[in-house]
Amino acid sequence: MKNRNKKFIYLISPIKIINKSFYNILNLVFKSNKVKFFQLRLKKESIKKKITIAKKILKICEKNNVKLIINDDPYLAKKVNADGCHLGQKDMDILKAKKILKNKIIGVTCHNSIKLAKYASSNGAHYIALGAFYKTRTKKVIHKADIRTLSKIKKSIKIPVVAIGGINEKNYKKLLLNKADFLAISGYIWNNKKYKPHQAIKNLK
């Protein structure tokens, strides 16, 4: 496949990081050389805990040439000097986030909407996320996207598109073949009953 030698995975963290061994596991996963972005998505931790975790992960990201993206919080992204921030539709508007983050990476969730994708793109987003493409247990699915949506949006904007939602070793190739630039993956890596995280990622070739 055309992505064989390209970093095409946008890896999202588990919702909790409580075990110190996680950092060693993450390093092993990064050694696959397939992860371009790592999004730290901790919804229920205190800011202090998020800062501590983010700083540890940033070192691992830098060592492996992976971009660290903080979910939801431009202020936290700036504080820990992450590479960027990802904004949901209920988070801060991109124009305000840009004032805080200057030239850092900003990604925006656009669900399945061409209108949202065009707004994000025209206001300086570096990438957009579309989905959910498949059933997922990581988040409650409210918006669904399909290959037709992906194709339409790819024609409408010039920035990279990240596909999200229930992506695993059985369905990922279809998204790449239909020109998704990156695949956002979480549950398949962290909650896989068959493979350890560093083994699971190897199945995505």
Q: Is residue 19 part of a domain?
A: yes
Asked whether the beta carbons of 181 and 127 are under 8 A apart, the reply is: yes
Q: Is residue 2 part of a domain?
A: no
Planar angle of CA 170, 173, 176, nearest 5 degrees: 150
Domain residues for 60?
9-202
Q: Is residue 114 part of a domain?
A: yes
Q: Is residue 120 part of a domain?
A: yes
| Tens of pLDDT, residues 58-78 | 999 999 999 999 999 999 999
Closest CA to 111 of 154, 177, 162, 67: 162
Q: Is residue 4 part of a domain?
A: no
pLDDT, position 18: 84
Q: Is residue 3 part of a domain?
A: no
Mean pLDDT confidence for 4-29:
91
| Tens of pLDDT, residues 100-117 | 999 999 999 999 999 999
The alpha carbon of residue 202 and the mean position of all alpha carbons in its chain are separated, in whole angstroms, by 18
> Percent of the chain scored above 70 by pLDDT?
95
Mean pLDDT confidence for 81-105:
96
pLDDT, position 2: 46
CATH number at residue 15: 3.20.20.70
Tokens 């409408």 locate to: 156
pLDDT, position 138: 62
Q: Is residue 128 part of a domain?
A: yes
In the chain, the number of structural domains is: 1
Q: Is residue 134 part of a domain?
A: yes
Planar angle of CA 134, 136, 140, nearest 5 degrees: 115
Closest CA to 57 of 84, 82, 93, 88: 82
